[in-house]
Amino acid sequence: MKTRYRFGAALIFAMVTSLCSSIGMAQEAELDRTELPIKGPTYPPITTLDARDAKAPPVFEVKPPKGAPNVVIILLDDLGFGGASTFGGVIETPNIDELASHGLMYNQFHTTALCSPTRQALKTGRNHHSANQAKITEVATSFPGATGMLPNDVAGIGEILRLNGYSTGAFGKWHETAVWEISPSGPVARWPNYQGFDEFYGFMGGETNQWSPSVFQTRTRSKSRMTPTITS
């Protein structure tokens, strides 16, 4: 697939996509989803001289194919097979177990034992070096494969779903943008909203203050703050 851009994850990080309604069978049959963005139809020139008699072509919209599922990805830091009961772990996770029972379960995911590289590998389906994420973003360098700057020719799941007509969102921790690119002044090309996510609510970087978190909604710094309640 030819695509651009990329995606992110969370502390609980969840990427939630809501399923759009399916398009007509005739239009769906014409869509070529092997190359993204999906190309729109080519209409013949309008030769009608009187605009009042001209007929407008139908609006071209890309929507998920009929029967396409909703997609929910939850990524937890520092959790392996020995954790959640979903895969036989010791911690009871009934809600995750329920989700898994209605979905697909994979047991050969590539993990790097580090946050940013693992998230980037999950998001792109690539080796983390191919996505320039050899290490966590706070210690990124200019060495090839370790810049923390996702190449323009590497697309993530958020962008792939968006270009297939899904509504997309990322919530929680976003730890895949180099530290010199997380300022609100930009550049913002590798922020969630430019990597395929219509909505983002979370924090940039590896951590934030638990009592007064630096939270963004899309690219806007949220004014809401968690304040501790002190009782005697």
Q: Which of 6-10, 131-135, 172-176 has the lowest mean pLDDT?
A: 6-10
pLDDT value at 94 more than 70:
yes
For residue 169, give every residue at least 6 positions away whose Cβ sits within 8 Å of its Cβ, in sequence order, or none: 15, 16, 17, 197, 198, 199, 200, 201
**Burial of 8: CB neighbours in 10 Å, binned 0-12, 13-18, 19+:** buried
Rounded to two decimals, the pTM is: 0.77
Structural domain contains residue 2: no
Q: How far is CA 229 from CA 209, 210, 223, 225, in A?
A: 16, 13, 18, 12
For residue 36, give every residue at least 6 positions away whose Cβ sits within 8 Å of its Cβ, in sequence order, or none: 1, 2, 3, 155, 159, 160, 163, 164
Q: Give me the pLDDT at residue 29, please.
A: 55
Q: Name the catalytic one among 20, 102, 110, 115.
A: 115
Q: Which of 9-18, 137-146, 191-200 has the lowest mean pLDDT?
A: 9-18
Structural domain contains residue 194: yes
pLDDT value at 98 more than 90:
yes
Q: Give me the pLDDT at residue 12, please.
A: 29
Structural domain contains residue 41: no
Q: Which of 55-59, 72-76, 224-228 has the lowest mean pLDDT?
A: 224-228
Report residue 9's pLDDT band, with 50, 70 and 90 as the boundaries: very low
Range 157-167 average pLDDT: 95
For residue 175, indicate whether it is catalytic. Answer: yes
Structural domain contains residue 1: no
pLDDT value at 113 more than 60:
yes
CATH number of 96's domain:
3.40.720.10
Domain tally for the chain? Answer: 1
Structural domain contains residue 214: no
Report residue 25's pLDDT band, with 50, 70 and 90 as the boundaries: very low
Give the domain extent around 137. 12-23+63-200
Structural domain contains residue 57: no
Report residue 224's pLDDT band, with 50, 70 and 90 as the boundaries: low
Structural domain contains residue 160: yes
For residue 20, indicate whether it is catalytic. Answer: no
Q: Strand, helix or coil at 75?
A: strand
Q: Give me the pLDDT at residue 106, please.
A: 82
Average pLDDT, the chain: 82
**Tens-place pLDDT, residues 164-178:** 999 999 999 999 999
Structural domain contains residue 58: no
